[in-house]
Amino acid sequence: MTDPTTPEYAAARDAADPLAGLRDRFLGAETPLVYFDGNSLGRPLRSTADRLERFVREEWGGRLIRGWDEGWFDLPLIIGDDLARVLLGAAPGQTAIGDSTTVLLYKLIRAAADHQVRTDPRRTEIVIDTDNFPTDRYVVEGIAAERGLTVRWIEVDLVAGVTPDLVRAAVGSATGVVVLSQVAYRSSHLADAAAITEIVHDAGGLMLWDLCHSAGSVDVALDAWGADLAVGCSYKYLNGGPGAPAFAYVAARHQDTLAQPIQGWMGHADPFAMGPGYRPAPGMRRFISGTPAVVGMLAMRDMVALVEEAGMTAVRDKARRLTSYAVDLADAWLQPLGVTVGSPRDPARRGGHVTFYHPSMRAVTAALWDQDVLPDYRDAHGLRVGLSPLSTSFEEVRRGMEAVRATLARIGG
């Protein structure tokens, strides 16, 4: 039972998995499909279909406009606080659901960069790494161009990722805000967020963490790190559905001093007075702009509750075990075919996915999709295996990796 490539080994791992029973809560868990892309779009919970249907009939259809008074208005902050408690390591009153990751990045980076320059005109740099997710890089470039600021790029090795040393070398008296992802979208590299945040603070900078690929798969401790700002999406490990709203965290100590640029009625201190002149609400509400996307934020609630039931520690532990198993199988099956592991081999430095490189991976991914095995492809030549901890079994990992091997052997030339 020590050969990881056997079906018996996978079955034994599932039998020993304390979270195995939760997999059936997800739609499609009973099908033979292998889902290696829960880090791009999480599977829906079975309860979500009913929840949406019931919401339309009973709440929207039954309560109509009264729903706003009866809970919808505060939903971005209520779900935000749940998320903060269960997944983000953040005290209440600092997290709100809304907009998209891109729009929230814009609002918070603008708020932070503008504040820094106002306080000290020399702090004109926005620091970001070259391997950050595209939308983070594009938003930062846009803000720098419009505000007359400079982008300072941290050049990173794909697998080694953003290290404290690289950050220390990049920050200083010109640093305004630093924008990094806790888990890198390609390599899965897990940054040392506590150490990096301290380095940024020592240089007088503000630290924004992108949690898109980490919330729900690794430990997040925003308050303990002393993070200033964070954003993340809800359609990956939070299973909020395609294009579900994102979340924003602003540390309480900054809420009264940071001003975000999109000042809308829902961030007003007294929105229904509809009076002249914008007056920002106290606390986290001022970071909300338009009408909350109520229908879009229902699904993630179920997932936050499920993570609370499972316990984030157990979820993180399973993420580690699943990715280690995928690496073990790659060592046995894929390395002989010329595949390299493009993620940290140390599970403590890795998020919930693993990327494998081979020149044929674009074609392999396409061929796998035709067999209902769904990994993601990421340039250049990377096959990304995302292992959403609560919806993925060891048996599924084994079956999927076996399909990768067979497909690569067939077309990998």
For residue 149, report the phi and psi dihedrals to the nearest 5 degrees.
Answer: -105, 175
**What residues from 154 to 213 belong to the interface with its own copies (CB under 8 A)?**
none
Strand order in the sheet with 376-378: 340-341, 353-357, 382-386, 376-378
- Residue 299: count of CB within 10 angstroms of its CB: 23
Q: How far is the CB of 98 from its own copies (least distance, A)?
A: 8
**What residues from 280 to 309 belong to the interface with its own copies (CB under 8 A)?**
289-296, 299
Site size with its own copies, rule: CB under 8 A: 79
Identify the active-site residue in 236, 286, 349, 398: 236
Closest CA to 301 of 106, 55, 21: 55
> Could you say which of 266, 314, 363, 406 contacts its own copies (CB under 8 A)?
266
Partners of residue 340 on adjacent β-strands = 357
Q: How far is the CB of 79 from its own copies (least distance, A)?
A: 13
Identify the active-site residue in 73, 133, 247, 249: 133
- In total, the chain counts a number of residues equal to 413
Tell me, yes or no, if 123 is annotated catalytic.
Answer: no
Residue-by-residue DSSP string for 272-324: GG--SS--BPSGGGGG--S---TGGGSHHHHHHHHHHHH-HHHHHHHHHHHHH
Partners of residue 150 on adjacent β-strands = 125
CB 273 within 8 A of CB 248: no
CB 288 within 8 A of CB 98: yes
Tell me, yes or no, if 133 is annotated catalytic.
Answer: yes
Between 6 and 130, whose beta carbon lies closer to its own copies?
130
> Could you say which of 16, 56, 224, 411 contacts its own copies (CB under 8 A)?
56
**What residues from 99 to 118 belong to the interface with its own copies (CB under 8 A)?**
99-103, 105-106
Assign 68 to helix, strand or coil: helix
> Could you say which of 12, 49, 169, 269 contacts its own copies (CB under 8 A)?
49
Q: Which stretch binds its own copies (CB under 8 A): 139-147, 165-173, 328-336, 402-410?
A: 139-147
x/- mask, its own copies, residues 302-341, rule CB under 8 A, reads ----------------------------------------
Tell me, yes or no, if 210 is annotated catalytic.
Answer: yes
Between 199 and 397, whose beta carbon lies closer to its own copies?
397
Q: How far is the CB of 135 from its own copies (least distance, A)?
A: 4
Q: How far is the CB of 195 from its own copies (least distance, A)?
A: 27
Alpha carbons 10 and 1: distance in angstroms, whole number: 9
CB 309 within 8 A of CB 19: no
Q: How far is the CB of 105 from its own copies (least distance, A)?
A: 8
Tokens standing for 23? 């997999």
Tokens standing for 191? 């940054």
Relative orientation angle of helices 299-310 and 46-54, to the nearest 10 degrees: 140
91 binds its own copies (CB under 8 A): no
32 binds its own copies (CB under 8 A): no
**What residues from 358 to 377 belong to the interface with its own copies (CB under 8 A)?**
369, 374, 376
CA dihedral (377, 23, 86, 301) in degrees, to 10, reads 90
50 binds its own copies (CB under 8 A): yes
**What residues from 386 to 405 belong to the interface with its own copies (CB under 8 A)?**
none
72 binds its own copies (CB under 8 A): yes
Q: How far is the CB of 198 from its own copies (least distance, A)?
A: 29
Assign 268 to helix, strand or coil: strand
Q: How far is the CB of 333 from its own copies (least distance, A)?
A: 24
Q: Which residues are catalytic?
A: 133, 210, 235-236, 384
